[in-house]
Amino acid sequence: NFAERSEEQVSGATVIAQALKTQDVEYIFGIVGIPVTEIAIAAQQLGIKYIGMRNEQAACYAASAIGYLTGRPGVCLVVSGPGLIHSLGGMANANMNCWPLLVIGGSPERNQETMGAFQEFPQAVRSSIYGRPGACYVDIPADFVNLQVNVNSIKYVERCMSPPISMAETSAVCTAASVIRSAKQPLLIIGKGAAYAHAEESIQKLVEQYKLPFLPTPMGKGVVPDNHPYCVGAARSRALQFADVIVLFGARLNWILHFGLPPRYQPDVKFIQVDICAEELGNNVKPAVTLLGDINAVTKQELASKKSLPMNYYTVFYHVQEQLPRDCFVVSEGANTMDIGRTVLQNYLPRHRLDAGTFGTMGVGLGFAIAAAMVAKDRSPGQRIICVEGDSAFGFSGMEVETICRYNLPIILLVVNNNGIYQGFDSDTWKEMLKFQDAASVVPPMCLLPNSHYEQVMTAFGGKGYFVQTPEELQRSLRQSLADTTKPSLINIMIEPQATRKTQDFHWLTRSNM
């Protein structure tokens, strides 16, 4: 009956408890006393668990860990004065850990009459979980706890929504992906921010797709299991010291990580920093790339960008090197293809590398490969010839593929295709360029037709042809080509048309003591 209900009275304590319940608070830790005892009882009556502790500091530590574990703030309930002072340690710790926490302290009575709707909780909850999580303090005046108010006069502000998920800038995501791909010794550092962000599934995918060694911080442990083959926790110091690219996933470069500085790190190590807190970016070191956003969302962005992004030379050669038989011949020609390939692809035997040579001749590769195949056939059967060609270089004597097929030579041709000599254009730019004008007047001299299917030169003569755009496709086609000893193959590898080599660093020539 409405008349009856409208007269129903509730205490301030119940209002507080209900406001907490509305905010999804499940646990309260604390030590009661005047004036907060009633709040604890009211909370229990509403189904919130109250855990009485022996010291406010421990209560506060416990409540903050609830925040870390559940993503909604745990509550620490304390009395005024010493109670609040004891809880300061826990608040500081929560803030330093970036963990959400709500501390509710009772204070002496106010002189004002009423307080109205209890607005502070949603605000406190929001500031504890939004942005960088941390501690929040709500002060409850004693007289409010025991105040009787008409139930209909109370309006609870609805549950504060989970924090909005923010993503990093797309260009930074791409830059990060290419920095990671060109790294020689990449390392992922997984911090407790990653754990808090529930990023375990996506980070594990990233680790496996990029083949990234990772190091968990103490509380980052378990985001990817410690027994994962890429975990380098056992060699922590070495991993830190020799990494050339480090991705920080929710870990700060503070004392735990030796501030990111030498001698624990390479002086020129590139940091890629992922954090939800803008102020944290660039702390102690100047990062090569900063990704401001939620770790889980940013990791997914990285995973997506990896699929769509064309590979660069380093990615290609990294995957090729992984599978190269130690005794193979490496024949190579091209500009960047030959130069970068030489630094990444390893030779273990003398007279097993043939390239453009003293005269810098293009068009020698297929002839050299055929000669190597003849020698290999006669002297060490089973030996393979890997011929790494730039797309332009391949064009100089591509018809020798017919010769290779005619004699069924054990040659695997890799055409590293960037649509041009030195550099080319992607097909969109190409179309744009040809819209209004005749090709001969606008196409830059170094451009070749984009996305040419050179692998069809091989299939035309009965060999195996592959057109690959991703590291996975490259790995798979190379594995198949190496396994198939009955046919020559050609893998046409599309890379970023504008990819170049890393800038040269001649620091040893400019050292003052030389």
Site residues (CB under 6 A) for ligand ADP? Answer: 97-98, 132, 191-193, 196-197, 217, 219-220, 250-252, 254, 256, 275-277, 280, 294-295
Give 132 or 501: the residue with its C-beta nearer to ligand ADP. 132
**Residue 234 beta carbon to Mg ion: minimum distance, rounded to whole angstroms:** 19
Shortest Cβ contact with ligand ADP: which residue?
Answer: 193
User: Which residues does 132 contact at the CB level (< 8 Å), separation at least 6?
Assistant: 98, 276, 277, 280
Give 275 or 302: the residue with its C-beta nearer to ligand ADP. 275
Task: Count the helix, strand and coil residues of the chain and give each as a percent rounded to the nearest 5.
Answer: 45, 20, 40
Residues 311-350 binding Mg ion (CB under 5 A) are none
**Residue 176 beta carbon to ligand ADP: minimum distance, rounded to whole angstroms:** 14
Q: Identify the three-state secondary structure at position 194.
A: helix
**Residue 222 beta carbon to Mg ion: minimum distance, rounded to whole angstroms:** 16
Strand partners, 135: 101
Give the binding range for Mg ion (CB under 5 A) out of 23-31, 52-60, 244-252, 491-499.
Answer: 244-252
Give 50 or 249: the residue with its C-beta nearer to Mg ion. 249
| CA 399 to mean position of chain CA atoms | 44
**Residue 137 beta carbon to Mg ion: minimum distance, rounded to whole angstroms:** 25
User: Which residues does 96 contact at the CB level (< 8 Å), separation at least 6?
Assistant: none
Give 69 or 349: the residue with its C-beta nearer to ligand ADP. 69
**Rounded Cα distance, 514 and 508, in Å:** 8
**Residue 68 beta carbon to ligand ADP: minimum distance, rounded to whole angstroms:** 10
Full DSSP string of 4-38: HHHH-EEEHHHHHHHHHHHTT--EEEE---TTTHH
User: Among ligand ADP, Mg ion, none, what does residue 22 contact (CB within 5–8 Å per kind)?
Assistant: none
Amino acid found at 425: F
User: Among ligand ADP, Mg ion, none, what does residue 295 contact (CB within 5–8 Å per kind)?
Assistant: ligand ADP
Give 53 or 289: the residue with its C-beta nearer to ligand ADP. 289
Tokens 């604390």, located at residue = 30
User: Among ligand ADP, Mg ion, none, what does residue 250 contact (CB within 5–8 Å per kind)?
Assistant: ligand ADP
From the list 251, 311, 369, 491, which residue makes contact with Mg ion (rule: CB under 5 A)? 251
Q: Identify the three-state secondary structure at position 309.
A: coil
From the list 85, 256, 442, 460, which residue makes contact with Mg ion (rule: CB under 5 A)? 256
**Which tokens go with 455?**
């692998």
Cis peptide before 263 (omega within 30 of 0): yes
Pair 388, 341: CB distance under 8 Å:
yes
**Under rule CB under 5 A, residue 192 binds Mg ion:** no
Give 286 or 435: the residue with its C-beta nearer to ligand ADP. 286
Give 220 or 410: the residue with its C-beta nearer to ligand ADP. 220
**Residue 423 beta carbon to ligand ADP: minimum distance, rounded to whole angstroms:** 36
End-to-end CA distance of the chain: 96
Give the binding range for Mg ion (CB under 5 A) out of 70-78, 113-121, 249-257, 453-461.
Answer: 249-257
Give 65 or 251: the residue with its C-beta nearer to Mg ion. 251
H/E stretch holding 465 reads strand 464-468
Give 269 or 387: the residue with its C-beta nearer to ligand ADP. 269
Backbone angles phi, psi at 81, to 5 degrees: 65, -120
**Residue 192 beta carbon to ligand ADP: minimum distance, rounded to whole angstroms:** 4
**Which tokens go with 362?**
């293009």
**Residue 200 beta carbon to ligand ADP: minimum distance, rounded to whole angstroms:** 12
Q: Identify the three-state secondary structure at position 419.
A: coil
From the list 72, 86, 181, 252, which residue makes contact with Mg ion (rule: CB under 5 A)? 252
H/E stretch holding 191 reads none
Give 143 or 294: the residue with its C-beta nearer to ligand ADP. 294
H/E stretch holding 434 reads helix 427-434
Q: In the chain, count H helices and then E strands.
A: 22, 18
Q: Which residues bind Mg ion (CB under 5 A)?
A: 251-252, 256
